[in-house]
Structure formats: structure tokens, C-alpha cells
Structure 1
Amino acid sequence: MSIVFGAGYEPWEVAGVDEVGRGPLAGDVVAAAVILDPARPIAGLRDSKKLSAARREELALQIRAQALAWAVARASVAEIDELNILQASLLAMHRAVQALQLQPRYVLVDGNRLPRWPYASEPVVGGDDLVPAIAAASILAKVQRDNELVTLDLSYPGYGFAAHKGYPTRAHLQALRALGVTPLHRRSFAPVKSLLADTGEG
């Protein structure tokens, strides 16, 4: 028997929320919130990581055009370093829901943790593959963040941000050692913190 998430609420009363960017060494963590329109369903919604970049872009356009409400928000690198990445992710999700022009009565959040907020809500592990509104939020957040890292690559050449999007790939770690830490880097994350300590900047 399939599980019904948000039972007791109409589809237009329920927002899906997800974040992108907990693992990278650089860049903000970005969250999105989406309330889908049951009268304008969008085919192909699923976990953004399982879609090609081109398909994510196509779906993001559809979501922005057809959803009843959507919003993208973030927590900055400074906030990540101050709060820790989990709390910064929850903060970004809270900001995304607050920014919706149509406020939901119920919120479905990807994962196993909820922000501290006044909304009736529930966490859904694997929600980006189980709940279309969470999948839509996942897509919007990933498209936003990926595009930002592509743009930032122009300001910080040599680090490969357009390719790895800030994640700790071998190429990124090599560039960090060769070129040093940028303002985009999360100084509380172990590889960056270690490098700063080695160079006397920690």
C-alpha cells in the first residue's frame, strides 16, 4: 500500500522543501520550496541528482511557470561556518518557505530533520523521489546553485567550480593546495580548515 504524505490537506495547501549543497567545500547552501498546482501536473519530477543538467533546466522552467508558488533561499558561507552545515541547511529551508507568496498549511521536508518553525510539517526520508513537490524543490535548488557556481568560476579561475560545483573532488583539492582558500570556501570544513592551519591562516 502506498504512503500518502500530507494526508488530510488539499494538494494546494502543501509545500515541498529540499536543499542542495550540504557536501561542498565552497558556496552557499541553497533551498527551495514549491506548492504544485494539481490542475497543471508536471511529468518527470524526481530527485534532481538523477536527472541530466539539461532535463533539470527544462523542468525548472516548467516548475516556475506552472507551480502555484515557489521560492528559493539560502544560507551563506559565513552562516554555515557560524552555525554548522545542518543548522544552516534548516535555516535556508525555513527562509524558502517563508518566502512563498502562497503560505502553506502543511510542509513536507526532504530528510529526517525539520526546521524549528510554526508550520505543521513532517520529514520524508527520500522525499525527492517520493513526493513531487519535494522533487520540484530539489530541482529548483540544484539548478540555482549549479548556475551560481558556474558564474563564480569566472571570478575564481583555476578552481574548477563550473565542473565540480564546490564538491571535494581530487581536482578541487589540488586547486585548493595550489591556489589557496577563497572567500567562497567554508572554513569550518575539514579540508579547508586543515589547509588554513598548515599555512598559518587558521
Structure 2
Amino acid sequence: MKRVLLYDSQQAVEQLANELINLSFDVFKSTSYEESINKYLKENYDFIIIDLDTFDAPKFLNKILKLNPKQRIINLSNSLELTTKEGCETCIKNYNKKRLLKPYDLRMIYDYLINFDERVCLDYNKDLESRKLSHALSEISEFESFKIKEDELLIFLEEQDKNALTLREFFLIIEILNKYEINYKILEQYSLQILRN
């Protein structure tokens, strides 16, 4: 039977714990930082589920990651804010944690508990796409003839003076977008519209 330490608010911990117990998990409930740390130091757990919106939950998460970076952790959160400043790649490389955004259902948690090693954090692809776009726009901003309207994801020719340099830069911009696997469509007047996935 898999052992789960569940750190959540008083009301939520009871409901989720009962649901996991019904699915044959051995669940240990905790509603405070001190109680959670004490339980963690005394016992081994296959998984830790942490509601990051619970008081002191980020502190508890960071303490666990210092004690055991490879501990399997499922973070529950209302926020898209990353728990690792460096981003998803660093988290995947150094830790063993995943995030589920609220509202979640029990099937999602169960799936992560059963198939943890095969699952990728749901935010990973979103973060990866944002970083690819950021890198591409940074490279494109070096071109003199073209400007970027980031709020519209539009790359356009600043002046309508089309010459050999303009044409060369235009094709280099297309190469950059292709390199980062960014979808786009070519508009009139040497403009490109970046398409969101």
C-alpha cells in the first residue's frame, strides 16, 4: 500500500484523505508546517501531496526539497506561478514533483499517483512554449529593419523600404521561428503573425 503525506487546510484534508483511503492509499494528514515536518522526519512516504495555497505550504515544499530532492511530490495550486524560479527544465532535472491546477478531480490525482514517473507536469509545455517564444523574439529584435509588437505577436517591417537586406532579414526571421518551432503566418508587406497554440 502506497503511503501518502497530505498537507492541506483542515476542511480539504479530510475530504481528499477519505477519497484516497477509499482508493487503497495509506494517508497521513497534516494541516501545519510543524506537524508535516515532524511526520516527514519520522516516516518514509511514497508521495507527498501539498496544497500550495495552504499557509506555510511553500515553506514545507522547500524544506522537503532540501531534505530529499527526489521525493515524489504533487503540488496542488490555484496559481500558474512556478515553484522553481529557474523554470520547468530545472525542476524536471533536479526534482521529482508535478503540479495540478485547481480545480482538479480525484481521477487526476489518482492518475498522477499511479503513473507518476510517466507524467509530465501540466505546466511544462506552457512554460516551454513561452521560453521558446521569448528566445525567438530576443533574436529577432536584433534585426534593424523589423519591429515587434509583442502584445499582438506581430513582426513587421518598420519602413516600407524593401531592399536586399530587408529580404535577407525576413528569411532569417522565418528561420528563427522555424528553429524554435513557432507557428506563424505570413501577412502582407513583409509582416509575420505569430500564432498561439
User: How does the TM-score come out when normalised to structure 1?
Assistant: 0.29
| Bigger Rg, which one | 2
